[in-house]
Amino acid sequence: MSRSAHPAGPRHADVLPEGHWTAPATDLNALDEKVWSRTVTRDADGAVSVGGIEVARLAEEFGTPAYILDESDFRARCRAWAEAFGADADVFYAGKAFLSRAVVRWLKEEGLNLDVCSGGELATALDAGMPAERIAFHGNNKTIAEIERAVTAGVGRIVLDSFQEIVRVAHVAQGLGTRQRVQIRVTVGVEAHTHEFIATAHEDQKFGIALADGQAAEAVRRALTLDGLELVGIHSHIGSQIFDMAGFEVSARRVVGLLAEIRDEHGVELPEIDLGGGLGIAYTSEDDPREPHEIAKALGDIVTRECESAGLATPRISVEPGRAIVGPTAFTLYEVGTIKPLEGLRTYVSVDGGMSDNIRTALYDAEYSVSLVSRSSDAGPMLVRVVGKHCESGDIVVKDAFLPSDLAPGDLIAVPATGAYCRSMASNYNHALRPPVVAVRDGRARVIVRRETEEDLLRLDVG
Ligand code: LLP
């Protein structure tokens, strides 16, 4: 899903004689700050540190594989988003990217709100003390129990995703003697991935209510008549790993168009719009993500302009970045095991994790970079494929990359930009034990999600 080009040579070239590959121009010891979290440095002796701690020490203390999360970078990114959008807008961190109780506390302290999309995420948020009014509850198939829990807790908004859900939430809220603040999620006819956006075939999906054929307007009609609901806005999320603002522009224009229709038909000006998440990050040096202030300005300008031309007061804007906040703040630390050179092809470097801790390469053909982090090396580049230890040939972590040719078993390598959708989509395939998340900050490291144990596995297996 990244738009990164192949490190050298054509993309998707699975079998290429080694001579066809050009060695990378960049120094293999260099750590591109675009893909590494902010406190990552390579020290004079060649070892890599994060948050003031050498990764070799982290490996010794916490084992590998491990997700190493740079807490000060996470907090800095939260602040950058909050400041960029300012007091007249709201930033909801999308918890699906990665959620834990520590993360909830950091979000709370840094002034962000939280988007959750399941009972489990809601439970984590509430348990860690996120005020319910700062939580938005999403999902295309929320259960009645989840809706009851969210309404009872007093979540700030539930994002309605279907006609049936409009009735369900209204019914639950009324039964509990309350009115629930809600937004309606619409599909605006834009589906954006990476740098392109397609304006067809997008309504053919499970999320949201289509705008084009009048369904969204009908959903608004129904929501406005139900006592249990307080309709406060319209929501749109157009995709993932987006670099180009053009898709957001179309989305904002269409959402504001619906607000104008609602005003004309019902005499009501809805006070909020949410433009979702989906902002891209750098997985490799080829990616050029936008900064929060550029995104805030672009979105703010579009909405203001569209509202002015429709004669509407500018609504309160919210956004839901997940990947753009947590993605760049973590890397996965692995120990190198078996190294298998395949003559004329490439060298397979096996690590002690794999598709169970990062399914994104297998699932989306995602591209990642990788570096040797326990030492530096002057050896020449070697074309590698970093693979896991699972019984599956698609168990690839980094499809094509260069590592120093003196790489040896026991070396530590790290894959940057794995903060989003790696731990949150991790599995126990082959009874793998899901790795811990270790937060580092100012020379201190602490486990915020511990490593799974065989006991954990066996506890679920009740015989
Ligand atoms: N808001 C809504 C309603 C969403 O559905 C999502 C992501 C987000 C916000 C956050 O999007 P972000 O800023 O993190 O891109 N597993 C995939 C990503 C799935 C995203 C689903 N929805 C991946 O690993 O790339």
| pLDDT given for residue 205 in this prediction | 80
Q: What is the pLDDT of residues 128-149, one digit of tens each?
A: 999 999 999 999 999 999 999 9
Residue 33: partners with Cβ closer than 8 Å, 6 or more residues away: 40
What confidence tens digit (pLDDT) does each residue in 16-47 have?
Answer: 444 455 666 679 999 999 999 999 999 999 99
289 lines ligand 1 (CB under 6 A): no
Higher pLDDT, 376 or 14: 376
Phi, psi of 375 (to 5 degrees): -165, 170
DSSP string, 298-348: HHHHHHHHHHHHHT-PPPEEEE--SHHHHGGGEEEEEEEEEEEEETTTEEE
Instruction: Kindly state the average pLDDT of the residues 94-110.
Output: 98
Task: List 413's β-bridge partners, or say none.
Answer: 334, 372
Q: Does the C-beta of 321 come closer than 6 Å to ligand 1?
A: yes
Tokens of 350: 């096996």
- Ligand 1 centre from 261 Cα, in Å? 29
CA of 443 to the centre of ligand 1 (A): 32
Q: Does 364 have pLDDT greater than 80? A: yes
- Compute, in angstroms, the gap from residue 277 CA to the centroid of ligand 1: 6
Whether 160 contacts 184, CB under 8 Å: yes
Residue 204, pLDDT score: 76
Neighbour tally for 38: CB within 10 Å: 16
Which residue did the predictor score with more confidence, 318 or 198?
318
Write the pLDDT tens digit of every residue in 114-133: 999 999 999 999 999 999 99
Catalytic residue numbers, as ranges: 391
Q: In CATH, what number does 138-321 get? A: 3.20.20.10
Q: Which atom of ligand 1 is nearest to the CA of 276?
A: 1
What does the pLDDT read at residue 25? 65
**β-pairing verdict for 41-42 and 48-50:** antiparallel
Q: Is the CB of 292 under 6 A from ligand 1?
A: no
Q: Assess whether the C-beta atom of 421 lies below 6 angstroms from ligand 1.
A: yes
Closest CA to ligand 1's atom 5: 237
Q: CA-to-CA distance for 359 and 424, rounded, in angstroms? A: 10
Evaluate if residue 286 carries a pLDDT over 70: yes
Query: Which of 320, 332, 424 for a ligand 1 pocket mutation test, highest count of atoms within 8 Å of Cβ?
Result: 320
Q: What is the pLDDT of residue 195?
A: 52
- Of the chain, the end-to-end C-alpha distance in Å amounts to 40
Atom of ligand 1 nearest to the CA of 138: 3
Bridge partners (DSSP) of residue 159 are 183
pLDDT of residue 447 exceeding 70? yes
- Mean pLDDT (the chain) is 93
Q: What is the DSSP letter of 434?
A: P
If one looks up domain 41-70+328-460 in CATH, what number appears? 2.40.37.10
Nearest atom (ligand 1) to Cα of 241: 15
Q: What is the mean pLDDT of residues 264-286?
A: 97
What was the pLDDT predicted at 223?
98
pLDDT of residue 196: 59
Domain positions in the chain: 41-70+328-460, 138-321
Task: Report how far ligand 1's centroid is from the alpha carbon of 196 (Å).
Answer: 17
Sheet holding 48-50, edge to edge: 41-42, 48-50, 53-54
**What's the confidence (pLDDT) of residue 21?**
58
Say if ligand 1 is within 6 A of residue 94 CB. Answer: yes
Distance CA 113, CA 137 (A): 11
Is the CB–ligand 1 distance for residue 333 below 6 Å?
no
* Mutation to probe ligand 1, out of 92, 103, 184, 240 (largest number of atoms < 8 A from CB): 240
Which single residue is written with the structure tokens 């959620």?
99
Phi first, then psi, for residue 289 (nearest 5°) are -75, 160
pLDDT of residue 420: 98
Residue 88 has pLDDT above 60, yes or no: yes
Residues 369, 400: Cα–Cα separation, whole Å = 8
Query: Would you say residue 6 has pLDDT above 50?
Result: no
DSSP lists the bridge partners of residue 319 as 91
Band the pLDDT of 8: cuts 50, 70, 90: very low
Q: Does the pLDDT at position 336 exceed 90?
A: yes
269 alpha carbon – ligand 1 mean position (Å): 28
Question: What pairing do the DSSP bridges indicate for beta strands 316-319 and 272-274?
Answer: parallel
> Going by CA atoms, what residue is nearest to atom 16 of ligand 1?
421
Residue 366, pLDDT > 60, answer yes
C-alpha distances out from residue 133 to 155, 181, 273, 463, Å: 5, 10, 17, 42
